[in-house]
Amino acid sequence: IKIKITNIDIPVAYASAFEGEIIRRGDMQVEFDGSRVDCAELVHTVEASEIEDHKITVVGPEVDEMELGSKNSIAYVVKVAGRSMQPDFEPVIERKFHNYINCIEGVYHTGQRDMQRIRISKDAFAAGFRIKHIGEVLYASVKNEFDAVVDKCEVVIYTDPAECTRIRHEVAIPTFNKRDDRLKNLTDESVDVYYSCILCQAFSPSHVCVVTPERLGLCGAVSWLDAKATNELDPNGPCQVITKERCIDERIGEYEDVNEAVRKLSQGALEDVSLYSIMEKPMTSCGCFECICGIEPFSNGVVIANREYAGMTPLGMTFPEMASMTGGGVQTPGFMGHGKHFIGSKKFMKAEGGIERIVWMPKELKEFVADRLNETAKELYGIENFTDMIGDETIATDPEELVGFLTEKGHPALSMEPMM
């Protein structure tokens, strides 16, 4: 017999009413920030004999031992076992952590994978809320919502910085890479359906992601396979099947089926979206984008910045400044939130000429996407080592200097049709 857990044993309230709650710096006891220190959130499928149901372990300091207002590492591994559990369901469960942790009164969560950010308020701390309670919430929520596949669940939360580094680099990132690789041989043309995702409507009520094999959700945590698994686990849940029978415009990737779905799922706020254009009917963004791409008029190309990048871009804007122009579930031609893996996709801004438009990226991001991006550039345009032509913050953050560099490299964007 499976028992629904209705009361979660924590010293603060737990309700979806707290989901949109924001905790300001001055009100926070401590924070955890995956964009600055090593963090991760992960579901791991194990044999039933390997875990103890409802066991919650904290490895490292508790909130009491952290300095007031400090930035810390956190990594939680939720081990699950069940006869019907499949590794394909792991990312689906993981993506729900955002909602689960946000429902805690006085606790705020954004992001996913190794980029999550959590704040615990002074009030929640004073009420007795501790790291171990995050484990209680994850345990109870996973058991509740995924009882069809999870029989046993154990949570290990690391706050020891060295352990967080180990979990992030040796366990989490290889797991994420393996998942992303499974998509390699799938194309948008080779599948019969796409999926919608509206998981982020709690924050961005009109936002809808359309997830295709070659365009993952902008959070980077929902691939087409993940959306498919989400739909299998919960046919009435956040991911719905979208057929792709009535193509309107192949160039920008516009389908009547997609438009109908988006209209319905955005409650009429959105009319039509394209899959492959940043200028014409672009997809909306919530706030969880891994990257933002924006047009750079001097070079006739686009600049991409990732969330971890703290510096200036040639647009004269930092990532947070670009984010303020991009989020909120409205269409903003010229700006687009997207996942890191979309950068190497053949469908990236296909309508505007594709990845050949990329003129600048932070060095770290460039290195992260180099293999895939170079492979795609070679295949589509016959360009070798395309990333060598792309600027970064060590080359230029000034648009004129950037154009100088691009000219020297013979970057293709300079001679392409104007974007505006």
* Residues within the interface to ligand SF4 (CB under 6 A): 95, 197-200, 209, 211, 217-219, 221-222, 286, 288
Smaller CB distance to Zn ion: residue 72 or 206? 206
Find the shortest distance in angstroms from Cβ 245 to ligand SF4. Answer: 23
Per the DSSP assignment, residues forming a β-bridge with 117 are: 33, 110
Find the shortest distance in angstroms from Cβ 203 to ligand SF4. Answer: 9
Find the shortest distance in angstroms from Cβ 288 to ligand SF4. Answer: 5
Residue with tokens 């040639």: 314
The DSSP letter of residue 27 is G
Smaller CB distance to ligand SF4: residue 29 or 326? 326
Smaller CB distance to ligand SF4: residue 286 or 295? 286
Residue with tokens 């200036």: 312
Q: Is 210 exposed, middle or buried (0-12, 13-18, 19+ CB in 10 A)?
A: buried
Tokens representing 30 are 């401590």
Find the shortest distance in angstroms from Cβ 200 to ligand SF4. Answer: 3
Interatomic CA distance for residues 312 and 353, integer angstroms:
26
Smaller CB distance to ligand SF4: residue 288 or 373? 288
CB-CB contact of 145 with 137 (8 Å): no
Amino acid identity at 124: A
Smaller CB distance to ligand SF4: residue 135 or 329? 329
Amino acid identity at 115: M
Q: Name the closest residue to ligand SF4 (Cβ).
A: 217
Interatomic CA distance for residues 350 and 70, integer angstroms:
43
Tokens representing 73 are 């590492």
Exactly one of 115, 155, 288, 365 binds Zn ion (CB under 5 A); that residue is 288
- Binding track over 196-235 against Zn ion, x by CB under 5 A: ----x-----------------------------------
Exactly one of 42, 77, 115, 286 binds Zn ion (CB under 5 A); that residue is 286
| Binding partner of residue 85 among ligand SF4, Zn ion, none, CB cut-off 5 to 8 Å per kind | none
Smaller CB distance to ligand SF4: residue 221 or 370? 221
CB-CB contact of 129 with 12 (8 Å): yes
Find the shortest distance in angstroms from Cβ 260 to ligand SF4. Answer: 18
Cα 59 from chain centre: 26
Interatomic CA distance for residues 334 and 344, integer angstroms:
19
Q: Using CB under 5 A, which of the segments 62-70, 167-175, 287-295, 381-389 binds Zn ion?
A: 287-295
Residues with Cβ within 8 Å of 181's Cβ and at least 6 positions away in sequence, in order, are: none
Interatomic CA distance for residues 364 and 291, integer angstroms:
12
| Binding partner of residue 197 among ligand SF4, Zn ion, none, CB cut-off 5 to 8 Å per kind | ligand SF4
CA-nearest of 195, 273, 201, 202 to 234 is 195
Find the shortest distance in angstroms from Cβ 198 to ligand SF4. Answer: 6
Using CB under 5 A, list all residues that contact Zn ion: 200, 286, 288
